[in-house]
Amino acid sequence: MSGTSLDGVDAVLAEVSMAGLVVRAHAHRVFSAELRAELLALNQAGSDELHRSARAGQALARLYADAVLDLGPLPSVRAVGAHGQTVRHRPELGYTCQLLDAALLAELTGLDVVADLRSRDVAAGGQGAPLVPAFHRAVFGQPGVDVAVLNLGGMGNLSLLHADGRTTGFDTGPANALLDAWVARHRGQPFDANGAWAAQGQVLPELLAAMQAEPYFALPPPRSTGRDLFDAPWLLRQPLAGAAPEDVQATLAELTAWSVTEALRSHQPQVREVIVCGGGAFNGDLLGRLAKRLPGVGFVSSADRGLPPMQVEAAAFAWLAHRFVHHLPGNLPAVTGARGPRVLGALYPA
């Protein structure tokens, strides 16, 4: 898995059965500065995009292969579930694009590769995202208990595991993407470690209100988003004049906390435990803002529930590959808005 945070690739070796999933190994490969910059640039229209996208897909395949091979001997692996890097997500126009040369990945690893896991849901009228709620239900669900799973990657998304057995979910809005962009712009750092810089600032009420007026936040589920909307140009269109950079960072953190807690109040008000994964699980300032906005709700790391935060999404795509291999649907129409359950992915044989 490589997500909208653009920090690198996470791979897990997962033993999957109908009874559950166990992670046997984990590996992480960091994006080079050059590859990260190119992937970020490809989120916007530019010159020679077809050539650059193909070359970036090849570079990703090589990095994915390195991460897979870092997991150790793989004699019994049935398939690699490979997400690719999202550079366009426009389900309202009927497409989503994840860069990856999956054929090259199969060649380099000698393993079957299941890729392009979102397009089938989009073809059926769905958002193609989020795809993880079904996995979250399988791993974190508790019969008769309301639980939410919050992934804080580049974007935030919620899986709502209702006590009555229903599973719903949607993207809440930006999480790390804007925070990372702003700290990189002003401090030259890839991310705001533990939210320390945001903690030094003050929330700017007028700026927060302007950001909250973004129409996306008022959309009903199913809904999904990405850098097509919440990117650096979006941030620079906000009323930033005269604002101290650390106050903007604090306001961005508050925007993320607000978008998550308002979603929980609206769609799962009875929840008392939120399991947090993704890079934002290590942001103490952001977790504090969430807890302050929802007193009485416990925000706990996914590590406390058996799966470390940086392994959750990679494990989800291993689980989705398992579903594909057994010709089982991987989407939840109640989450994505698709016309029905669909088998997700395309096979690139070894």
Domains of the chain: 8-128+313-348 (3.30.420.40), 133-309 (3.30.420.40)
Low-confidence ranges of the chain (pLDDT < 70): none
- Tell me the CA distances in angstroms from 170 to 17, 94, 121, 217, 286, one per residue in order: 26, 18, 14, 11, 20
What letter would DSSP give residue 14? Answer: E
Nearest-Å Rg of the Cα atoms of the chain is 19
Quote the pLDDT of residue 75: 86
Tell me the two tokens of residue 120: 């089938």
Rounded CA-CA distance 81/97 in Å is 16
Whether 174 contacts 255, CB under 8 Å: yes
Quote the pLDDT of residue 339: 98
Dihedral sign computed on CA atoms, order 13, 169, 181, 234: positive
Tell me the two tokens of residue 168: 């719903």
